Amino acid sequence: MEKNESKILIFGGTGYIGSYMVKASIKLGHPTYVFSRPNSNKIEIINELQSMGAIIVRGKIDEHDKLVSLLREVDVVISALPYPQVFDQLKILEAIKVAGNIKKKKKVRRAIEAANIPYTFVSANCCGAYFVNYLLQPSEQKEEITVYGTGEAKAVLNYEDDVGIFTIKVATDPRTCNRVVIYRPTANIISQNELISMWENKKGKTFNKVHVSEEEMATLSETLPYPQNIPISIMHSIFIKGVTTNFDLGENEIEASALYPDLNLTTIDELLDIFLHDPPKPA
């Protein structure tokens, strides 16, 4: 490990996406801290991350003084907390302002911009393994696959290992300071129909397609109670509206793979091969 590597603190580091970031941070040689609640039930992953070299700090987000002294030890803060905790991140922000030394923090956008703390916002798009599990349900051995809308809208699927590596790289890269980084490598853009056809070729079989119409999805996202309405709303945004691909990058936005052209990213074809031979578990 090099002495000058930034020290990185990750909130939510024991979680689905956070654990990829912790592993990437360790792999890239950063002293890596994970903030985890005292009553966390993530024993297995905590032990795994600790054995890889992560420093686990037990605490609660509202323990202000503890947060401030921890923040004084690190250079970069990454938040991968789950959606219901989105506003708890403001408590982290308050502690960062008091600590005064943080070089980078992500998320809770306007509050961070207003706080004058250097930041990078990232838009990771669809986590590849997460969405392959959701869309194709490879572990279920079913004969049918659900197609949302016509199946033609294009989406970006990035394998979680690459999301982890991108996130640590952009968090410590001066070129991304106070900018938005979007993970949208051209090779990772695919429609549901293309994904299904690729999977059928690999499996050597044809699946029955069950279509859920745009109208049905819109109705469900408006009528289901919170939080059951979240998955269908996300599917509607991505696979009907095409929100991950239907816009050009703005002036303050950078595409991640353009920053690191030498990174060997996992293609969707390779991701499906992983699912054939050693399928990642559904989240």
Ligand X SMILES: NC(=O)c1ccc[n+]([C@@H]2O[C@H](COP(=O)([O-])OP(=O)(O)OC[C@H]3O[C@@H](n4cnc5c(N)ncnc54)[C@H](OP(=O)(O)O)[C@@H]3O)[C@@H](O)[C@H]2O)c1
Contact 64, 95 (CB under 8 A): yes
**Single-letter amino acid, residue 96:** I
Given 16, 57, 173, 237, the residue binding ligand X (CB under 6 A): 16
Contact 208, 145 (CB under 8 A): yes
- Mark residues 17-46: x for contact with ligand X by CB under 6 A, - for none: xx-----------------xx--x-x----
Q: Which of 23, 104, 105, 106 is catalytic?
A: 105
Q: Does 105 participate in catalysis according to the annotation? A: yes
Shortest Cβ 76–ligand X spacing (Å): 18
Residue 80 sits in the site that holds ligand X (CB under 6 A) = yes
Nearer to ligand X, 28 or 46 (CB): 46
Shortest Cβ 169–ligand X spacing (Å): 18
Residue whose beta carbon is closest to ligand X: 15
Max distance between CA atoms of the chain, in angstroms, equals: 59
Shortest Cβ 41–ligand X spacing (Å): 7
| Region of 76-84, 98-106, 189-197, 263-271 interacting with ligand X (CB under 6 A) | 76-84
Shortest Cβ 12–ligand X spacing (Å): 4
Residue 229 sits in the site that holds ligand X (CB under 6 A) = no
- Round to whole Å and give the CA distance between 282 and 135: 11
| Region of 13-21, 47-55, 219-227, 274-282 interacting with ligand X (CB under 6 A) | 13-21
Shortest Cβ 208–ligand X spacing (Å): 26
- List the beta bridge partners of residue 254: 181
Given 29, 85, 237, 245, the residue binding ligand X (CB under 6 A): 85
CB atoms near residue 29 (< 10 Å): 14
- Round to whole Å and give the CA distance between 161 and 152: 26
Burial of residue 65 (CB within 10 Å: 0-12, 13-18, 19+) is exposed
- Mark residues 86-125: x for contact with ligand X by CB under 6 A, - for none: --------------------------------------x-
Contact 38, 65 (CB under 8 A): no
Nearer to ligand X, 74 or 163 (CB): 163
Residue 81 sits in the site that holds ligand X (CB under 6 A) = yes
Q: Which residues are catalytic?
A: 105
Interacting residue ranges for ligand X, rule: CB under 6 A: 12, 14-18, 36-37, 40, 42, 61, 80-83, 85, 124, 126-127, 130
